[in-house]
């Protein structure tokens, strides 16, 4: 094996962080940069991976001088004029996005790729499948787009036959792969900055399925416009395992059904043992994660995800308070009509925050909370809020009164809540 020196720009992201850990396990030297520090960078630093916040290109040049860098791997969010990317090209360093390095490792280690794709449920299903294989004592390598409580977010096991990957459709990432087995969790139009129409979104999934040897998916995905090849195994809601798995949340039980069917198809163990392993699944970070007493955080930011997560919360409590931060203004223009009373039916109260802005079209006007909630008839149950002390007092009062407080969004809401809990040290 050739040992490479790999530099990751944006190493703390949900795509590159797990890949950096995987590359480290696979025997490569790893380092990188990120402008923000969080859960992923903390996990990487614990493993001795050096991370800098200097993205001017000077630190990159210094590292290259000390030990020549073989690959400069960068996140899709990195602009083409980013100083580090520009400097890497000037230095003659090979530059690539994450999918190219991951494909290289999969080929080099002769692994069978199990890809989990879909608009919603990818992270939960990927983590659940990793957990289940480990409980079945099946060696496994993987990459999950979040931190895990039961292991690193990315890992390579030399004894593994399978590589489990959360295969994201953003930036058409999943089209770079040809999986041994693909699991499709759901399909709902998303990422309008990558796919201008719903048809283009569905066409990308159809192409991905054509590139997959084996397929497990729900019939509801086909109904959205995705074309599945004849070799696909299509599951209906009446699938018997769906009703036998004891997990909170209908969407979790659906994801678990895919995991159970995949394990059965790969002959990894008897059905009872597979089900038992799935039912012991502890969850992953930012997916209905308990932060403190009566306070949960979730990454979901699409109406379908909101409704599903609220349904799960309602199974646990009859009084649910939702604090929601919309994600990306360009996305809000596409989904604003989907914010209906039905989506928020399981929320007793709703606190609506301004949209977290990222990768925006400057020509689109930023939609206000009032515009986004125009179709809602929540009355006194709808509040407009900011991430400030006033909101935190409302959250604290609600959870003290016994309500389940659910914080949802892919932006700053999670980090803010963790800081408030740490600062107040009240529970």
The 10s digit of each residue's pLDDT in 21-30 is 999 999 999 9
pLDDT above 90: residue 155: yes
Distance between CA atoms of residues 208 and 190, nearest Å: 16
Whole-number pLDDT of residue 75: 87
Q: Label the pairing between strands 5-9 and 29-33.
A: parallel
The average confidence (pLDDT) of the chain is 93
pLDDT above 70: residue 1: no
Alpha helix ranges (H) inside 228-356: 250-265, 271-279, 303-316, 329-335
Q: How confident is the model at residue 310 (pLDDT cuts 50, 70, 90)?
A: very high
Q: Quick one: fold of 111-279?
A: 3.40.1190
pLDDT digits (tens, 9 = 90+) for 219-251: 988 988 999 999 999 998 765 555 578 888 888
> What single string gives the DSSP state of each residue in 72-141?
EEE-TTS-TT-HHHHHHHHTT-EEEEHHHHHHHHHHHTTPEEEEEE-SSSHHHHHHHHHHHHHHTT--EE
Residues 6+ positions from 330 with CB-CB distance below 8 Å: 192, 193, 359, 360, 361, 364
Q: How confident is the model at residue 377 (pLDDT cuts 50, 70, 90)?
A: confident
Q: How confident is the model at residue 92 (pLDDT cuts 50, 70, 90)?
A: very high
The CATH homologous superfamily of the domain defined by 289-424: Mur ligase, C-terminal domain (3.90.190.20)
pLDDT above 60: residue 147: yes
CB atoms within 10 A of CB 266: 17
pLDDT above 90: residue 195: yes
pLDDT above 70: residue 368: yes
- CATH 3.30.70.3000, applies to 5-97: no
Residues 6+ positions from 55 with CB-CB distance below 8 Å: 9, 33, 34, 35, 82, 83, 84
Domain extents for the chain? 5-97, 111-279, 289-424
Residue 375, phi then psi, degrees to nearest 5: -90, -5
pLDDT above 80: residue 340: yes
Whole-number pLDDT of residue 101: 96
pLDDT above 60: residue 427: no
Q: If we measure between CA atoms, which residue out of 121, 130, 129 comes closest to residue 254?
A: 121
């Amino acid at each position: 094996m050739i040992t490479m020196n790999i530099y990751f720009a944006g190493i703390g992201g949900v795509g590159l962080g797990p890949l950096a850990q995987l590359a480290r396990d696979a025997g490569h030297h790893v380092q990188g940069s990120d402008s923000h520090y969080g859960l992923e960078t903390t996990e990487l630093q614990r493993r001795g991976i050096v991370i800098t916040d200097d993205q001017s290109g000077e630190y990159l040049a210094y590292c290259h001088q000390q030990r020549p860098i073989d690959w400069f791997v960068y996140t899709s969010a990195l602009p083409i004029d980013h100083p580090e990317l520009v400097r890497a090209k000037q230095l003659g360093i090979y530059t690539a996005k994450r999918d190219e390095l991951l494909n290289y490792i999969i080929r080099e280690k002769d692994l069978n790729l199990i890809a989990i794709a879909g608009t919603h449920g990818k992270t939960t299903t990927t983590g659940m499948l990793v957990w289940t294989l480990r409980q079945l004592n099946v060696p496994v390598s993987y990459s999950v787009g979040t931190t895990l409580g039961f292991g690193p977010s990315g890992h390579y096991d030399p004894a593994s036959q399978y590589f489990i990957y959360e295969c994201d459709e953003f930036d058409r990432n999943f089209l770079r792969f040809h999986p041994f087995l693909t699991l499709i969790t759901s399909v709902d139009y998303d990422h309008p900055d990558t796919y201008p129409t719903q048809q283009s979104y569905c066409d990308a999934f159809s192409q991905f399925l054509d590139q997959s040897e084996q397929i497990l998916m729900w019939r509801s995905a086909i109904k959205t416009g995705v074309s599945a090849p004849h070799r696909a195994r299509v599951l209906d809601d009446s699938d018997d395992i769906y009703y036998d798995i004891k997990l909170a949340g209908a969407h979790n039980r659906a994801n678990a059904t895919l995991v159970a069917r995949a394990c059965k198809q790969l002959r990894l163990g008897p059905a009872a043992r597979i089900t038992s392993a799935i039912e012991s699944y502890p969850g992953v970070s930012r997916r209905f994660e308990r932060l403190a007493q009566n306070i949960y955080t979730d990454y979901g930011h699409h109406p379908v995800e909101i409704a599903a997560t609220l349904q799960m919360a309602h199974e646990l409590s009859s009084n649910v308070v939702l604090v929601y931060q919309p994600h990306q203004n360009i996305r809000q223009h596409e989904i604003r009509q989907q914010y209906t009373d039905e989506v928020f039916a399981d929320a007793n109260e709703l606190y609506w925050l301004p949209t977290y802005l990222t990768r925006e079209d400057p020509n689109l006007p930023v939609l206000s909370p009032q515009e986004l909630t125009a179709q809602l008839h929540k009355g006194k149950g709808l509040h407009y809020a900011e991430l400030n002390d006033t909101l935190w007092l409302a959250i604290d009062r609600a959870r003290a009164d016994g309500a389940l407080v659910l914080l949802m969004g892919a932006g700053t809401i999670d980090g803010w809540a963790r800081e408030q809990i740490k600062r107040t040290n009240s529970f």
